[in-house]
């Protein structure tokens, strides 16, 4: 390039447009130190620098416009780039090599880059400019919609594509009754096929968004004040709405280029070559959505735009090699919470191609693979469950090692020989965001000595973009480590090379009742005779507690050696909170409580000055007790008939219930009684992690039983049992294990299920994760606990019978024994002194921890000799 | 470090009986300060003790019978809870894991094993028979 040798008068590069692609271009220039030797001027139309337009909808989940910004605070200053905000270019004079902006500013350029993006296409329907009509493209659009929506109840989106569904998500987020109107016969017509569109439609309608497909918008109807009141649709129907968002696609913004005589495509887009340069004028480039790339396509995705930005920056910096000749338009995204992925020849346009479908309209899952006659995978569509995307996209163009029907079946139903990443060729791209191949990831382990996934991520950048490939990446790294002879530890911790399930079998078979015994006889050589660790101690304590009656161990979890193994929560039979105080949860079986007992809880909380809160499990939590207050509080509670709620233990927590048949006009069974029975049966059962349950009295499911480890839903014939549900960070609906059970059948199945879980799960593995991990999944568990395929059901039932027969309330046992009460002091040498660091301040008529006192100046650190350190 | 081992005694019961007559002492500002009887400490666990000047220490008796003492305040949260952590050993050196956010502290030096910039005070200990 001419300017590379210029010295006295540095050349000027003008960038028109500061969107995502424009900013990536500036970064690419900065990476090549171009701003050091050239003047860079940016004209930006919007009132703010580049921001993450892809994440626009996240504004409604709490992200501020500032958080969406892509520009590091000092980026422009550090690189000496002149950014003119809110001053769009209005004309280009190629002969004079000048650009003029709206403010009148005229700049002479040596190189000009157009990154003007696209504009939303608004169909030419009457009324389209009425008050209440919007487009969805910029933060300003979004703020305007938000303001107008405050006075609206219903909103309609014209367009059911990717952006239309994003906009629908936004309207829903604003609390509007939301409609989507799509001219094509299905949603997302570009990315998915008919079946995928149908699955998407069902799921989105379930969320309360009304979908109208196969209809066009004919007119926007306005009221007397000139604002939107309805839409007339092509099928003759009228849709009442207060607000309309047009999201019917985008068009390249190529007006500036047209006006200065640069060629544009038939359907728009500034014609560029593989270096993103206009063939007419080698000083002018165009990148991103405004460009018609060398392969004759306009790309509306950000990733190809970024590639163009880099290609142009390389060309301008005089670097060889970079070019943009086309891009993979595979996408995986989450729209309104639904996974949607499309890759390769998603629509099966290759001559002679065949396809394989999997469709489960119950769960809203649709999968289609397009296969060539010789078995080559050509592409596919995944809706509702896109986990396989990470594996399938890299396999596109090759013959997969498994039959296509096995590739689309859900993991539980798939053939055992599941497809692993080891089947991928070395040149398969694993991380699409950073273009990292399997070979590069393997080399990170074999050549760059990475031994963990985070190290490989740092070394290769793989998995640091959208994150969809992390699962596959982890498997690859582990396999490579294994192949290299580096053991991937399956053992519980540094003390035991066994898993939790293996330790359970050892303890059960050899009737080992002591942790020290287990460590010294079965621990790793180097750990024997040692102290153990904070991981295996509570795990072994839990195993011994689960098996206590059967192996002849003491039933009280704090006797003898057991006392030294328990986490502080189990040790004080209460829950440690952030300032060193504890919280207390008495058991309220099934959430049913008498007024008298409620009054006792109120009185105890008031007398001890505790903060009270209703829990999610239909109980009452009392916070802010010092250790020395715990026995005093529990003496009152036990006296009133309460017992431990085990909120502190990896044990059964609650069995929640709806009010059931007794009161509810819809109820078909007595859900409260069943919940109480189950809670009393399994109370105190120690397990690998906490256990939650619920019983609903009818299919309306008010107790949310399918979000629990074991959930029961009444039918007119009995009970349906669901297992493996979870709320929290990784929600999962429980799976149906058996249906229409009698009371006795239900209890027997739960007995078996819980004991089988306790026996085989890993440490801190909830039933949901266990069910996903265990070989054979739900089917295997059903075989074992329903059909007794392993012949262990008698034993599982006997274990539970032992537990039920030997249950004692831990707090009553503690209060009855002065020795056991000794530990409940703040200070061993001052049993009557309360801990002065546990303090509280008032908030909303209750207390909260006083954290200032804990953050206060710490006492001087002293050396071993007891003198102040220098 | 310790001036007496109770592990040589014949039975566990005899050992516990003997432990009632043994005082646990810490070296504080150049002097030995008694904080409790050995029998008040559960092997493998800790207890909080109050020093005359109001400082809080966490005193531990490990599985082998050895005593350790460090400051009771968890530097990561400010809460006075280190005495309630679980003991473990790494490469033969005993440590306590904070019950709040699980950072580990070497019991001999007070050095945090998960953050080299953090150390809590450590105290010398001894047992003295009455």
Report the chain B residue with the minimal C-alpha distance to residue A854: B78
Q: What is the pLDDT of residues A582-591, one digit of tens each?
A: 999 999 999 9
Residue B62 belongs to a domain: yes
Distance from CA of B33 to the nearest CA of A (A): 11
Average pLDDT over residues A28-35: 92
Share of chain A above pLDDT 70, in %: 94
Residue B6 belongs to a domain: no
pLDDT of residue A722: 96
| CA distances for A412 relative to A89, A153, A323, A739, angstroms | 57, 43, 44, 19
Report the chain A residue with the minimal C-alpha distance to residue B102: A534
Cβ count within 10 A of residue A597: 17
Is the CB of residue A200 less than 8 Å from the CB of residue A340? yes
pLDDT of residue A365: 84
| Same domain as A676, residue A751 | yes
Q: Is the pLDDT of residue A125 over 50?
A: yes
**Binding-face residues of B in 14-43 toward A, CB within 8 A:** 27-31, 35-36, 40-43
Residues of chain B with Cβ-Cβ distance to A856 below 8 Å are: 78
Residue B59 is part of which domain span? 12-129
Q: Is the pLDDT of residue A610 over 70?
A: yes
Number of domains, chain A:
5
Q: What is the pLDDT of residues A539-566, one digit of tens each?
A: 999 999 989 888 888 778 788 888 889 9
pLDDT of residue A489: 63
Average pLDDT over residues A454-480: 75
Distance, CA of B84 to CA of A556 (rounded, Å): 19
Distance, CA of A44 to CA of A65 (rounded, Å): 17
Residue B118 belongs to a domain: yes
Nearest to B16 by CA among B7, B24, B26, B25: B7
Nearest to A607 by CA among A629, A586, A638, A627: A629
Q: Which of A331-335, A610-614, A749-753, B53-57 has the lowest mean pLDDT?
A: A331-335
pLDDT of residue A474: 79
| Same domain as A165, residue A62 | no
| Same domain as A774, residue A682 | yes
Domain containing B101 — which CATH number? 2.102.10.10
* pLDDT class of A678 with cuts at 50, 70, 90: very high
Tell me which residue has tokens 């029907």.
A405
Nearest to A571 by CA among B71, B40, B86: B86
Cβ count within 10 A of residue A633: 22
* pLDDT class of A3 with cuts at 50, 70, 90: very low
What mean pLDDT is reported for chain A?
88
Q: Is the pLDDT of residue A467 over 70?
A: no
Average pLDDT over residues A474-499: 80
Nearest to B86 among A537, A829, A854 (CB): A537
pLDDT of residue A865: 38
Residue A711 belongs to a domain: yes
Is the CB of residue A18 less than 8 Å from the CB of residue A321? no
Residue B88 belongs to a domain: yes
Residue A726 belongs to a domain: yes
Is the CB of residue A456 less than 8 Å from the CB of residue A462? yes
| Same domain as A785, residue A667 | yes
Distance, CA of A773 to CA of A757 (rounded, Å): 12
Per-residue exposure over A378-395, b if at least 16 CB sit within 10 Å of its own CB, e if not: bbbbbbbbbbbbbbbbbb
Residues of chain A with Cβ-Cβ distance to B48 below 8 Å are: 826-828, 835
pLDDT of residue A336: 73
Residue B40 belongs to a domain: yes
Residue A735 belongs to a domain: yes
* pLDDT class of A268 with cuts at 50, 70, 90: very high
Distance, CA of A268 to CA of A271 (rounded, Å): 9
Q: Which of A162-176, A629-643, B42-56 has the lowest mean pLDDT?
A: A162-176
Task: Provide the terminal-to-terminal Cα distance of chain B, rounded to the nearest Å.
Answer: 18
pLDDT of residue A355: 85
Nearest to A576 among B56, B90, B100 (CB): B100
| Same domain as A737, residue A671 | yes
Q: Is the pLDDT of residue A763 over 80?
A: yes
What are A335's strand-pairing partners? A338
pLDDT of residue B11: 56
Q: Is the pLDDT of residue A867 over 50?
A: no
Q: What is the pLDDT of residues B57-68, one digit of tens each?
A: 999 998 888 999
B126 touches A at CB < 8 Å: no
* pLDDT class of B2 with cuts at 50, 70, 90: very low
Residue A768 belongs to a domain: yes
Q: Is the pLDDT of residue A868 over 60?
A: no
Is the CB of residue A197 less than 8 Å from the CB of residue A189? yes
End residue of a domain, out of A531, A566, A601: A566
Say if the ipTM goes beyond 0.85.
yes
Report the chain B residue with the minimal C-alpha distance to residue A568: B84
Residue A836 belongs to a domain: yes
Average pLDDT over residues A698-714: 95
Q: Which of A178-192, A389-403, A840-854 has the lowest mean pLDDT?
A: A389-403
* pLDDT class of A864 with cuts at 50, 70, 90: very low
Nearest to B49 among A565, A828, A851 (CB): A828
Best residue of A534, A860, A869 to probe chain B, by most B CBs closer than 10 Å: A534
What are A575's strand-pairing partners? A583
* pLDDT class of A158 with cuts at 50, 70, 90: very high
Cβ count within 10 A of residue A294: 20
Residue A224 burial class via C-beta count within 10 angstroms: exposed 0-12, middle 13-18, buried 19 and up: exposed
Nearest to B84 among A530, A571, A851 (CB): A571
Residue A784 belongs to a domain: yes
| Beta-carbon separation of B44 and A538 below 8 A | no
Distance from CA of B59 to the nearest CA of A (A): 9
Number of domains, chain B:
1
Counting one residue from chain A and one from chain B, the pairs whose CB atoms sit within 8 A come to 137
Q: What is the pLDDT of residues A34-51, one digit of tens each?
A: 999 999 999 999 999 999
Average pLDDT over residues A594-601: 97
| Same domain as A767, residue A691 | yes
Residues of chain B with Cβ-Cβ distance to A564 below 8 Å are: 42-45, 63, 87
Is the CB of residue B60 less than 8 Å from the CB of residue B69? yes
Residues with Cβ < 8 Å from A325, sequence gap 6 or more? A274, A293, A294, A295
Residue B4 belongs to a domain: no
- The DSSP result for A797-810, as a single string, is HHHHHHHHHH---H
Q: What is the pLDDT of residues B112-125, one digit of tens each?
A: 998 889 999 999 99
Distance from CA of A563 to the nearest CA of B (A): 8
Q: Is the pLDDT of residue A494 over 70?
A: yes
Structure token digits, residue A671: 């859900």
| Same domain as A644, residue A660 | no
Residues of chain B with Cβ-Cβ distance to A866 below 8 Å are: 27-31, 123-124
More confident residue, A449 or A110: A110
| Beta-carbon separation of A531 and B30 below 8 A | no
pLDDT of residue A402: 75
Distance, CA of A421 to CA of A424 (rounded, Å): 5
CA angle A721, A724, A727 (to 5 degrees): 110
H or E stretch at A741: strand A735-741
Distance, CA of A73 to CA of A338 (rounded, Å): 34
Residue A601 is part of which domain span? 567-649+817-849
Domain containing A734 — which CATH number? 3.30.413.10
Average pLDDT over residues A264-289: 93
Is the CB of residue B48 less than 8 Å from the CB of residue B105? no
Domain containing A305 — which CATH number? 3.50.50.60
pLDDT of residue A435: 76
pLDDT of residue B8: 43
* pLDDT class of A413 with cuts at 50, 70, 90: low
Distance from CA of A343 to the nearest CA of B (A): 43
* pLDDT class of A449 with cuts at 50, 70, 90: confident
More confident residue, B95 or A60: B95
Q: Which of A120-129, A435-444, A806-815 has the lowest mean pLDDT?
A: A435-444
* Residue B19 backbone phi and psi in degrees, to 5: -65, -25
B48 touches A at CB < 8 Å: yes
Instruction: Quote the strand ranges of A315-466, DSSP E.
Output: 331-335, 338-344, 354-360, 365-371, 377-383, 429-431, 436-437
| Same domain as A829, residue A780 | no
Give the relative orientation of helices A777-785 and A743-760 as an angle to the nearest 10 degrees: 120
| Same domain as A188, residue A133 | yes
Distance from CA of B128 to the nearest CA of A (A): 16
| Beta-carbon separation of B88 and A829 below 8 A | no
Torsion of CA A423, A425, A426, A431, to 10 degrees: -80
* Residue A578 backbone phi and psi in degrees, to 5: -65, -25
Residue A13 belongs to a domain: yes
Average pLDDT over residues A310-335: 82
Residue B1 belongs to a domain: no
| CA distances for A143 relative to A60, A132, A136, A170, A828, angstroms | 11, 13, 10, 11, 61
Cβ count within 10 A of residue A448: 12
More confident residue, A418 or A681: A681
Distance from CA of B105 to the nearest CA of A (A): 12
Q: Is the pLDDT of residue A74 over 70?
A: yes
| Same domain as A128, residue A92 | no
Q: What is the pLDDT of residues B84-101, one digit of tens each?
A: 999 998 878 899 999 998
pLDDT of residue A487: 65
Distance from CA of A656 to the nearest CA of B (A): 28
B128 touches A at CB < 8 Å: no
Q: What is the pLDDT of residues A192-233, one digit of tens each?
A: 888 888 888 888 888 889 999 999 999 999 988 889 999 999
CA angle A825, A817, A551 (to 5 degrees): 110
Nearest to B73 among A568, A858, A864 (CB): A858
Residues with Cβ < 8 Å from A230, sequence gap 6 or more? A220, A221, A238, A239, A240, A241
* Residue A96 backbone phi and psi in degrees, to 5: -85, -5
End residue of a domain, out of A209, A225, A248: A248
Distance, CA of A734 to CA of A710 (rounded, Å): 7
| Beta-carbon separation of B81 and A830 below 8 A | no
Report the chain A residue with the minimal C-alpha distance to residue B89: A531
| Beta-carbon separation of B81 and A580 below 8 A | yes
Distance from CA of A615 to the nearest CA of B (A): 21
Nearest to B87 among A531, A579, A851 (CB): A531
Nearest to A578 among B64, B100, B123 (CB): B100
| Beta-carbon separation of A866 and B84 below 8 A | no
Structure token digits, residue A5: 């040798």
Structure token digits, residue A247: 């999201």
| Same domain as A101, residue A143 | no
| Same domain as A571, residue A552 | no
Residues of chain A with Cβ-Cβ distance to B36 below 8 Å are: 828-829
């Amino acid at each position: 390039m001419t300017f590379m040798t210029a010295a006295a008068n540095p050349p000027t590069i003008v960038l028109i447009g500061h969107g995502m692609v424009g900013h990536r271009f500036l970064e690419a220039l900065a990476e090549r130190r171009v701003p050091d030797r050239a003047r860079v001027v940016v004209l930006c139309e919007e009132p703010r620098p580049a921001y993450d337009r892809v994440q626009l909808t996240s504004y409604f989940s709490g992200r501020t416009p500032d958080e969406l910004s892509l520009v590091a605070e000092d980026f422009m200053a550090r690189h000496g780039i002149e950014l003119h905000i809110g001053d769009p270019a209005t004309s280009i004079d190629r002969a004079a090599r000048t650009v003029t902006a709206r403010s009148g500013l005229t700049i002479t350029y040596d190189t000009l880059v157009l990154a003007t993006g696209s504009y939303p296409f608004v169909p030419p329907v009457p009324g389209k400019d009425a008050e209440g009509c919007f487009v969805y493209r910029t933060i300003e659009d979004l703020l305007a919609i938000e303001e107008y929506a405050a006075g609206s109840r219903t909103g309609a989106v014209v367009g059911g594509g990717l952006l239309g569904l994003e906009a629908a998500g936004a309207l829903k987020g604003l609390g509007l009754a939301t409609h989507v109107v799509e001219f094509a016969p299905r949603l997302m017509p570009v990315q998915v096929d008919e079946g995928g569109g149908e699955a998407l439609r069902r799921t989105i309608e379930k969320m309360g968004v009304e979908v109208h497909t196969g209809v066009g918008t004919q007119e926007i109807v306005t009221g007397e004040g000139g604002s939107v009141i309805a839409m007339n649709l092509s099928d003759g129907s009228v849709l009442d709405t207060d607000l309309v968002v047009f999201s019917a696609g985008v068009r390249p913004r190529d007006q500036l280029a047209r006006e200065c005589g640069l060629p544009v495509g038939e359907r728009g887009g500034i014609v560029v070559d593989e270096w993103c340069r206009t063939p007419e004028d080698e000083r002018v480039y165009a990148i991103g959505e405004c460009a018609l790339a060398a392969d004759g396509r306009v790309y509306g995705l950000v990733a190809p735009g970024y590639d163009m930005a880099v290609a142009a920056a390389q060309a301008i910096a005089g670097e060889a090699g970079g070019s943009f000749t086309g891009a993979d338009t595979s996408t995986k995204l989450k729209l309104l919470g639904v996974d949607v992925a499309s890759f390769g020849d998603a629509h099966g346009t290759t001559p002679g191609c065949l396809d394989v479908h999997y469709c489960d309209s119950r769960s809203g899952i649709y999968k289609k693979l397009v296969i060539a006659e010789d078995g080559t995978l050509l592409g596919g569509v995944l809706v509702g469950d896109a986990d396989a995307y990470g594996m399938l996209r890299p396999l596109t163009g090759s013959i997969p090692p498994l039959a296509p029907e096995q590739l689309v079946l859900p993991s539980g139903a798939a053939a055992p020989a599941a497809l692993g990443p080891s089947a991928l060729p070395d040149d398969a791209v694993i991380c699409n965001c950073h273009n990292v191949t399997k070979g590069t990831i393997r080399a990170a382990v074999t050549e760059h000595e990475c031994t963990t996934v985070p190290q490989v991520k740092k070394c290769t950048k793989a998995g640091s973009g959208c994150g969809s490939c992390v699962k596959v990446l982890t498997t690859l790294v582990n396999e490579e480590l294994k192949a290299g002879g580096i053991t991937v530890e399956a053992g519980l911790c540094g003390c035991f090379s066994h898993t939790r399930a293996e330790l359970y079998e050892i303890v059960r078979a050899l009737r080992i009742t002591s942790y020290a015994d287990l460590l010294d006889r079965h621990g790793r050589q180097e750990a024997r005779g040692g102290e153990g660790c904070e991981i295996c101690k509570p795990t072994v304590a839990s195993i011994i507690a689960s098996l206590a009656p059967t192996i002849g161990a003491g039933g009280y979890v704090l006797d003898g050696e057991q006392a030294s193994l328990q986490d502080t929560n189990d040790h004080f039979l209460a829950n440690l909170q952030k300032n060193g105080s504890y919280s207390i949860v008495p058991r309220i079986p099934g959430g049913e409580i008498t007024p008298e007992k409620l009054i006792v809880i109120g009185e105890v909380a008031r007398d001890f000055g505790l903060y009270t809160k209703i829990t999610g499990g239909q109980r009452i939590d009392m916070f802010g007790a010092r250790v020395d207050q715990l026995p005093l509080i529990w003496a009152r509670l036990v006296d009133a008939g309460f017992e431990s709620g085990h909120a502190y233990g990896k044990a059964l927590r609650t069995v929640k219930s709806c009010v059931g048949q007794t009161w509810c006009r819809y109820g078909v069974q007595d859900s409260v009684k069943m919940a109480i029975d189950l809670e009393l049966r399994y109370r105190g059962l120690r397990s690998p992690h906490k256990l939650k349950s619920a019983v609903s009295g009818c299919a309306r499911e008010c107790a949310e039983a399918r979000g629990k480890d074991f959930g029961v839903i009444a039918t007119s014939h009995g009970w349906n049992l669901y297992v493996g549900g979870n709320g929290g960070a990784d929600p999962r609906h429980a799976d149906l294990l058996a249906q229409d059970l009698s009371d006795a059948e239900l209890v027997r199945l739960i007995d078996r299920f819980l004991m089988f879980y306790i026996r085989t799960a890993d440490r801190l593995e909830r039933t949901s994760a266990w069910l996903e991990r265990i070989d054979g999944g739900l089917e295997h568990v059903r075989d074992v606990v329903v059909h007794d395929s392993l012949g262990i059901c008698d034993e599982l039932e006997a274990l539970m019978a032992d537990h039920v027969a030997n249950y004692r309330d831990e707090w009553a046992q503690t209060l009855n024994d002065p020795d056991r009460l000794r530990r409940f002091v703040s200070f061993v040498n001052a049993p009557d002194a309360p801990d002065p660091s546990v303090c509280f301040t008032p908030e909303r008529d209750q207390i909260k921890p006083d954290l200032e006192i804990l953050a206060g100046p710490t006492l001087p650190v002293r050396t071993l000799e007891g003198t102040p350190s220098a | 470090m310790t001036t007496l081992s109770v592990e040589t005694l014949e039975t566990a019961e005899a050992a516990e009986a003997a432990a009632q007559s043994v005082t646990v002492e810490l070296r504080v500002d150049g002097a030995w300060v008694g904080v409790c009887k050995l029998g008040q400490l559960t092997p493998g666990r800790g207890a909080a003790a109050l020093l005359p000047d109001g400082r809080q220490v966490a005193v531990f008796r490990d599985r082998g019978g050895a005593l350790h003492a460090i400051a009771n305040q968890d530097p990561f949260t400010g809460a006075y809870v280190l005495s309630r952590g679980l003991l473990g050993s790494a490469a033969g050196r005993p440590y306590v894991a904070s019950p709040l956010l699980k950072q580990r502290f070497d019991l001999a030096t007070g050095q945090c094993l998960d953050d080299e910039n953090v150390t809590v005070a450590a105290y010398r200990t001894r047992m003295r028979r009455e």
